[in-house]
Amino acid sequence: MGILEVKNINKRFGGLQALGDVNLDVQEGSCHAIIGPNGAGKSTLLNVLVGKLIPDTGTVMFENKPVLGRKPHEINQMGISRVFQTPEIFGDLTVMENMVIPILARRDGSFALHAISQLRNEKSLNEEAEQMLAEVNMLEKRNMQASSLSRGDKRRLEMAMCLVQQPRLLLLDEPTAGMARADTNNTIDLLKEIKEKRNITMAIIEHDMHVVFSLADRITVLAQGTPLVEDTPENIKGHPKVREAYLGEAQV
Amino acid sequence: MFGLNAKDARLYIIVLALLLFAPFLLNPFPEGSGLAQFNAGYPDMMQRLVIFGLFAVGFNILFGLTGYLSFGHAAFLGVGSYAGVWMFKLLTMNVIPALIISTLVAGLFSLLIGYISLRRSGIYFSILTLAFAQMCYSLAYSVLTPITGGETGLQLSLDDPRILGVQQTAQGNIPVPNLFGLPMNAATTLDVGAWSFTFSVGYYFAAFVFACAFYFTIRLFRSPFGLMLRAVKSNQSRMSYTGLNARPYTLAAFVISGMFAGLAGGLLVSMDPLAGAERMLWTASGEVVLMTILGGVGTLIGPILGAGVITYLEAIVSTINSTVLHNWFEALPDGLENFLVNIIYPFVGSGWHLTLGLVFVIVVCFLPGGIVEGGKRIGGLFTRKNKSSDSVKADSAAQPGPGE
Ligand SMILES: Nc1ncnc2c1ncn2[C@@H]1O[C@H](COP(=O)(O)OP(=O)(O)OP(=O)(O)O)[C@@H](O)[C@H]1O
Ligand SMILES: [Mg+2]
């Protein structure tokens, strides 16, 4: 039994079957990659998992608790964090403030009325935020406004925001898209380290096969909303159907 | 200091000093001179300045931090006024219970209105708050006349119960609002040469309440709660995927700012115990929006400056009439005098809204950050100038030229 069990998810957008009978089993402590061509329904699947979309049919269980029907903030409080395909950060706030918010959310829950205590006196909180920023090599940018960061930095900031929440399941939607090769490798190292040290389960969507094969323990190939195959990276590499549907064009 | 960071503490001390010395600062022109017209250092005016400052500071907690633009905040000010007068009628003329009840009743109203209005955001939220405020206004004018006094407004009378106070004074008058016996309208006047400065109990009491509320506001801005409110404005969807529920945060901000408005309403009737429905009209709600934008949305000091400018313009510019204008330009040839008077006349007196509109348009077009941004730009000019002159000095010191 996996930490995340997705059963028979169907989702139609008008005439388009975005997800058709999707089943997914993510094992605790593993890194599960979801690959597939553009428009395959990968992001749509994550949208279902975080409560952004309600599917037409199906069930989702996280740690044996039902996920569907809960609000996004409740799902996050269950221990699921998500990095989005287009970075979702607090653009008007500083990098440091962006980091403090998820720590507060983890510590105080979805609402707390701490209107008198002062943020600058929260020593351990600020230290934790700085430590995480250091891990993603962004400490020197702590006082920059988040919207003025480069695209790669925005992604790294968002990842740091998710990691600092200490989730039990981390959903990553193309975390290295738009990153330079060196940054991509840094990200791979970071994610590897996190997986080993903190035992965070990961589901990652990625077009960059280098990233996928460096990280994934299992791979699901999605095409036109339906899982084509699910197997280990070694088997996927040589799979004729996958080559035909996806890898043939994507692998360089 | 005060548990604030150095910058905030400095700002707070400046505000305290301005409040303390306002009777001098706002009365720069000698009595009887032509410019005495522009003095604002009389109690009624100074009270209005701090009370509307309080209103705007509270409004800014909602609008400035969360970005939710309420167009109905005057309703809470009106509700606070009525609640305050009712305390004077039923309980006592002491202002403390009146202010407490004003704040609480406004808080209840804002909880109800906010709970419903915050189901929508953006323009729909604004329209909902506007609709609720207009409903409050119409109700106060019509069916609720027994509670609100309808068109005449809610007034004190000699046969009010006032169970903890006196129904009437020994002279048979209606008692005045007081602070444990210290009447709000008491004042002493200090004459220095041609100047005369008035110190009133009412003003200093209102200023004290304002100072407390402003201190709370600074703390709120720098608190975890304040950060969450700014997160609401910045990216609500990131907030919910970070495990935070934006709704109670916005509702709390709405209620806090509603309570500020109620407190301001309570203070208004503490200075002059009369409450009317026109205080809830949409124009009054619009005015606090203008104050906040004019001063600088989301800044600590902006709403105070905006409230100051608008309250001042309203009180001073609206009293200038054509006789006053003719007096000013008396020395000029008749033709020129009439020409100038005719040009300026539409902008003063009852036309003061035109001046306000012009000021507003200029500020929004050229200084989108309001007066605060203007101040910063001017400050920036000076520091840059100083720096460049410093470096010039340093250069010339390093290589003394032939001219030296
Ligand atoms: N909210 C929506 N309304 C209508 N159609 C949608 C919606 N969201 C997604 N779709 C459609 O569903 C299909 C799957 O989209 P999705 O974003 O899941 O693809 P993807 O696999 O993430 O692709 P990519 O690799 O480009 O990110 C697309 O055809 C898309 O146009
Ligand atoms: Mg996608």
From CA A150, how far away is CA A157, in angstroms rounded? 10
Please give the residue range of the domain that contains residue B354: 316-394
Class of residue A249 by CB neighbours under 10 A (exposed 0-12, middle 13-18, buried 19+): exposed
Residue type, B228: M
B157 and B110 in a common domain: yes
pLDDT at B237: 96
Sheet holding A16-26, edge to edge: A16-26, A4-13, A57-62, A65-66
**For residue B310, is it within any domain?**
no
What's the whole-number average pLDDT of chain A? 92
Residues in chain B: 404
Q: Residue A186's domain is classified under what CATH number?
A: 3.40.50.300
What's the whole-number average pLDDT of chain B? 91
A246 and A171 in a common domain: yes
B133 and B197 in a common domain: yes
What total number of domains does chain B contain?
2
**For residue B400, is it within any domain?**
no
B240 and B291 in a common domain: yes
Residue A118, CA distances (Å) to A72, A84, B144, B217, B387 in order: 28, 31, 44, 12, 34
B142 and B32 in a common domain: yes
Is the pLDDT at A248 greater than 60? The verdict is: no
Q: Which two tokens stand for residue A171?
A: 């959903």
A196 and A140 in a common domain: no
Q: Residue A205 forms beta bridges with which residues?
A: A34, A173
* pLDDT tens sequence across B11-20: 999 999 999 9
Which strand (E) or helix (H) includes residue B187? strand B187-192
The residue-averaged pLDDT of B81-104 equals 97
Residues with Cβ within 8 Å of B26's Cβ and at least 6 positions away in sequence, in order, are B39, B40, B41, B45, B46, B49
pLDDT at B322: 84
Is the pLDDT at B393 greater than 50? The verdict is: no
Q: Which of A104, A121, A165 to mutate to test the interface with B (most CBs of B within 10 A)?
A: A104
From CA A128, how far away is CA A133, in angstroms rounded? 9
> Which residue shows structure tokens 């269980």?
A61
**Min Cα separation B148/chain A (Å):** 34
Boundary of a domain, candidates A125, A150, A166: A166
Boundary of a domain, candidates A166, A200, A232: A166
Q: Which chain B residue is nearest to residue A107, measuring alpha carbons? A: B243
In a 13 Å sphere around the CA of A42, the CA atoms on its Cβ side amount to 26
Beta strands in B9-55 (DSSP E): none
B346 and B284 in a common domain: no
A200 and A135 in a common domain: no
> Which residue shows structure tokens 């100072």?
B211
**For residue A226, is it within any domain?**
yes
B82 and B24 in a common domain: yes
A107 and A32 in a common domain: no
pLDDT at B389: 52
Q: Which of A242-251, B18-27, B155-164, B252-261 has the lowest mean pLDDT?
A: A242-251
pLDDT at B91: 95
> Which residue shows structure tokens 């500083």?
A94
**For residue B294, is it within any domain?**
yes
From CA B342, how far away is CA A185, in angstroms rounded? 74
A71 and A2 in a common domain: yes
Q: Do A116 and B234 touch (CB under 8 A)?
A: no
Q: Which chain B residue is nearest to residue A51, measuring alpha carbons? A: B241
The residue-averaged pLDDT of B321-332 equals 84
pLDDT at B385: 65
Beta strands in A73-158 (DSSP E): 80-83
Vertex A199: Cα angle to A196 and A200 (nearest 5):
115
Boundary of a domain, candidates B267, B300, B333: B300
Instruction: Report the SS3 class of residue B142.
Output: coil
CA of A103 to the centre of ligand 2 (A): 27
Residues with Cβ within 8 Å of B22's Cβ and at least 6 positions away in sequence, in order, are B41, B46, B49, B203, B207
A196 and A153 in a common domain: no
From CA B44, how far away is CA A157, in angstroms rounded? 53
**For residue A87, is it within any domain?**
no
A211 and A111 in a common domain: no
Alpha-helical runs (H) found in B235-369: 236-241, 246-271, 282-295, 302-312, 322-328, 334-344, 352-366
* pLDDT tens sequence across A34-93: 999 999 999 999 999 999 999 999 999 999 999 999 999 999 999 999 999 999 999 999
Residues in chain A: 252
Residue type, B269: V
B121 and B28 in a common domain: yes
A204 and A178 in a common domain: yes
B351 and B226 in a common domain: no
A244 touches chain B (CB under 8 A): no
A110 and A172 in a common domain: no
**For residue B402, is it within any domain?**
no
B80 and B51 in a common domain: yes
A251 and A175 in a common domain: yes
Pairing of strands B182-183, B154-155: unpaired
B294 and B321 in a common domain: no
From CA A229, how far away is CA A218, in angstroms rounded? 11
Residue A211, CA distances (Å) to A185, B204, B393 in order: 8, 67, 57
What total number of domains does chain A contain?
2
Q: At B179, give phi and psi (nearest 5°).
A: -110, 100
Does any ligand 1 atom lie closer than 6 A to the CB of residue A13?
yes
Q: Do B242 and A108 touch (CB under 8 A)?
A: no
The residue-averaged pLDDT of A8-30 equals 94
Boundary of a domain, candidates B300, B329, B355: B300
Residue B24, CA distances (Å) to A111, B30, B305 in order: 46, 11, 18
**For residue A84, is it within any domain?**
no
**For residue B309, is it within any domain?**
no
Does any ligand 1 atom lie closer than 6 A to the CB of residue A38?
yes
Q: Which of B1, B229, B244 to mutate to test the interface with A (most CBs of A within 10 A)?
A: B244
B280 and B139 in a common domain: yes
Does any ligand 1 atom lie closer than 6 A to the CB of residue A81?
no
**For residue A10, is it within any domain?**
yes
A117 and A215 in a common domain: no
Residues of B in contact with A79 (CB under 8 A): none
Class of residue B304 by CB neighbours under 10 A (exposed 0-12, middle 13-18, buried 19+): buried
**For residue B104, is it within any domain?**
yes
Biggest CA–CA distance in chain A, Å, is 62
From CA B136, how far away is CA B142, in angstroms rounded? 10
Boundary of a domain, candidates B235, B270, B300: B300
A123 touches chain B (CB under 8 A): no
A250 and A175 in a common domain: yes
B329 and B202 in a common domain: no
* pLDDT tens sequence across B160-212: 899 998 888 889 899 999 999 999 999 999 999 889 899 999 999 999 999 99
Does the structure's ipTM exceed the value 0.95? no
Is the pLDDT at B307 greater than 80? The verdict is: yes
**For residue B401, is it within any domain?**
no
Does any ligand 1 atom lie closer than 6 A to the CB of residue A39?
yes
A190 touches chain B (CB under 8 A): no
The residue-averaged pLDDT of B266-279 equals 95
**For residue B240, is it within any domain?**
yes
Boundary of a domain, candidates A112, A137, A166: A166
Is the pLDDT at B398 greater than 50? The verdict is: no
pLDDT at B355: 87
* pLDDT tens sequence across A192-243: 988 888 889 999 999 988 999 999 999 999 989 999 889 999 888 878 777 7
Please give the residue range of the domain that contains residue A8: 1-79+167-252
**For residue A51, is it within any domain?**
yes
**For residue A86, is it within any domain?**
no
